[in-house]
A and B are shown apart, each in its own frame.
Chain A
Amino acid sequence: MTDTPLDELGPVDYVVVEFPAGAKNFTGEMAAELLKLVDAGTIRVIDVLILDKNEDGSVDATELSDIEQLGEMETIEAELAELLAAEDVDHLAAAMDPGSTAGVLIYENLWAAPFASAARRSGGQLIANGRIPIQAIIASIEADPVGATTEGD
């Protein structure tokens, strides 16, 4: 585990990936791709939880360490910081549908850490961030009359 000084910490994000009831098809592909990102130094995984939301709305949380046969994910499990608190489980599960399973991933964007550090040292402070859906970008390009007419010319 690295003890990264807070001033050098990259942006930390979370994602909740929901698998609706009956739509789970775990092949190990996700773990393999996650490991690639870690091995490449793109991200550092800080915490992982598996949540199951029951039909009555109650939530069961599973630690990664409680999963048998983690395989290569064992290297990630050994580095987890257990950042999420119990109350976070309820907050995150609020987005889930009953009967679904979700993977919660907390990660540091290592690729952005040097820039974020430099921005802080320069007196900058993050005032907004977000993610633009690919669908919105496609829609914007398609709605642009210039882009639409020049494409393919």
Chain B
Amino acid sequence: MPLRPARRGRVGVIGHPVAKTAVVARAVTPGRAPVAKTAVVAAAVTPGRGGRRRRI
């Protein structure tokens, strides 16, 4: 079924293809990778949504 027109032509919020989370069937030892800093959004960002306020 088609998406609603409001979803077309807008910039998305996910930003990149999503990788599948590993489905863990049993207890595993997590890696010791350091935590990366999340990108800090300095201001309310409305990419590609000129003038239209969305209700969220």
Using a CB–CB distance below 8 Å, which chain A residues touch chain B? 1-4, 6, 9, 12, 14, 16, 18, 46, 60-63, 66, 81-92, 94-97, 108, 125-130, 132-133, 135-136, 138-140, 142-143
Contact = CB atoms under 8 A, between A and B. Distances in A.
A83 B17 contact: no
A9 B36 CA distance: 24
A85 B55 contact: no
Contacts, number: 108
Nearest to B26: A135
29 contacts: A1-B55, A3-B55, A12-B56, A14-B14, A46-B56, A60-B1, A61-B1, A63-B1, A63-B3, A83-B13, A84-B14, A86-B10, A87-B10, A87-B11, A87-B12, A87-B14, A89-B7, A90-B17, A91-B12, A91-B18, A92-B14, A126-B38, A129-B38, A135-B26, A135-B27, A136-B29, A139-B29, A139-B30, A140-B30
Contacts of B14: 14, 84, 87-88, 91-92
Contact of B27 (A1, A9, A62, A139): A139
Contacts of B35: 128, 130
Contact of A88 (B12, B21, B38): B12
Contacts of B21: 95
A132 B19 CA distance: 17
Nearest to B11: A85
The 3 A-B pairs with the shortest beta carbon distances in the complex, nearest first, are A94-B17, A88-B12, A139-B27
B7 to A, nearest CB: 5
Given A16-B18, A125-B40, 12 more contacts: A1-B55, A61-B1, A81-B56, A82-B6, A82-B7, A85-B13, A86-B3, A91-B16, A95-B21, A127-B40, A136-B30, A139-B29
